[in-house]
């Protein structure tokens, strides 16, 4: 049995290119899947503040929200930080906003 070396090399190159292409495409993700819209992020943060106010018997008000799309992990960290804040600090501090909320990065379209 005789192998045609040119055909073998061409087939190998095509196979390698297909494998590389498959790996590249499988690692692609939609960047927008990592972000909340302005409305989604704002709603999550407002609900977190309202829940903390109910829990602590306070009346903190959000005066502004960061415009644009915000990273899901940053918003989720903010919401978790608000939930874990102690009521004594939440009520008495001049600015009880956790650093995780202040550090939210956003992007504008």
Model confidence over 19-72: pLDDT tens digits? Answer: 676 666 555 555 667 899 888 998 998 899 899 999 999 888 777 777 788 899
Q: Quote the percentage of the chain above a pLDDT of 70.
A: 68
Q: Residue 65 has what pLDDT?
A: 76
Question: In which residue are the tokens 């196979």 written?
Answer: 15
* Local structure of 4: helix, strand or coil: coil
Q: How far apart are CA 30 and CA 7, in angstroms?
A: 38
Question: Is residue 101 within 8 Å of 60, Cβ to Cβ?
Answer: no
Nearest to 51, CA basis, from 78, 13, 21, 79:
79
Pairwise pLDDT comparison (7 vs 44), residue with the higher score: 44
Asked if 39 contacts 69 with a C-beta cutoff of 8 angstroms, the reply is no
For residue 69 the two structure tokens come to 């799309």
Q: Distance between CA 85 and CA 101 in Å, rounded?
A: 12
Q: Is the pLDDT of residue 83 over 90?
A: yes
């Amino acid at each position: 049995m005789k192998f045609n070396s040119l055909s073998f090399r061409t087939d190998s190159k095509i196979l390698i290119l297909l494998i590389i292409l498959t790996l590249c495409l499988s690692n692609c993700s939609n960047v927008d899947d990592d972000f909340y819209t302005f409305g989604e992020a704002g709603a999550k943060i407002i609900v977190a503040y309202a829940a903390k106010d109910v829990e602590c018997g306070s009346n903190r008000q959000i005066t502004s929200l960061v415009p644009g799309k915000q990273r899901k992990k940053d918003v989720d960290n903010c919401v978790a930080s608000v939930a874990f804040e102690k009521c004594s600090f939440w009520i008495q501090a001049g600015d009880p906003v956790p650093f995780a909320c202040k550090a939210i990065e956003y992007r504008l379209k």
